[in-house]
Amino acid sequence: MNLCGYIPESINEGPGVRAVLFISGCRHACPGCFNPASWDFEAGEPFTETRKQEILRETADNPLLDGITLCGGDPFFSAEECVSLVKEFRVRCPGKNVWAYTGFTFEAIMRQPKLRELALLCDVIVDGRFVLAERDVALPFRGSRNQRLIDVKASVEKGRSIEVAL
């Protein structure tokens, strides 16, 4: 897995102040994507154990952070590697939350065991491909009207997708 970007403090990819990791690689290739350079699975730097530990240390030591956000690319194309990161983040930062962006729908993710494992470690998943014809810059934390902010825990409990009320 490669990391094509890292922002230690951001207010754009979820509520509050968040550390944002841009995971390299995406096969959705959505027209109008804000980050097409991230589609290449080799973009950026290798996400080594050393780099992972640096980021985990920074996030654990930053009292301003509300959580982390996995962006891309699409982190669900590197779900197995992201699981390791998020599990360790959960241990080190138990009071902080996890958001992830994906072009997959929540329903499709839940049908695939490897993707489901990552999903169940997240608090919120922003799902759905970016659709240029539905672009809406006024929407909080997403780029097009078809994308949803899925409350993972509530969705699993109810057996259907439940959106976060902002």
Tokens of 108: 């499709």
Side-chain half-sphere exposure of 127, counting CA atoms within 13 A:
22
Per-residue pLDDT reduced to its tens digit, 9-50:
999 999 999 999 999 999 999 999 989 999 999 999 999 999
Query: Which residue in 132, 141, 138, 146 sits closest to 104, CA to CA?
Result: 146
Per-residue pLDDT reduced to its tens digit, 144-155:
999 999 999 999
Q: In what order do the strands lie in the sheet with 17-23?
A: 45-46, 2-10, 17-23, 65-72, 97-101, 124-127, 148-151
What's the rounded mean pLDDT across residues 86-106?
97
Task: Indicate the domain borders of the chain.
Answer: 2-158
Confidence check: pLDDT of 165 > 90: no
User: Distance (Å, rounded) from C-alpha 36 to C-alpha 32?
Assistant: 8
Give CATH for domain 2-158: 3.20.20.70
User: Distance (Å, rounded) from C-alpha 52 to C-alpha 77?
Assistant: 18
Task: Name every residue whose Cβ is closer than 8 Å to that of residue 61 and which is 6 or more positions away in sequence.
Answer: none
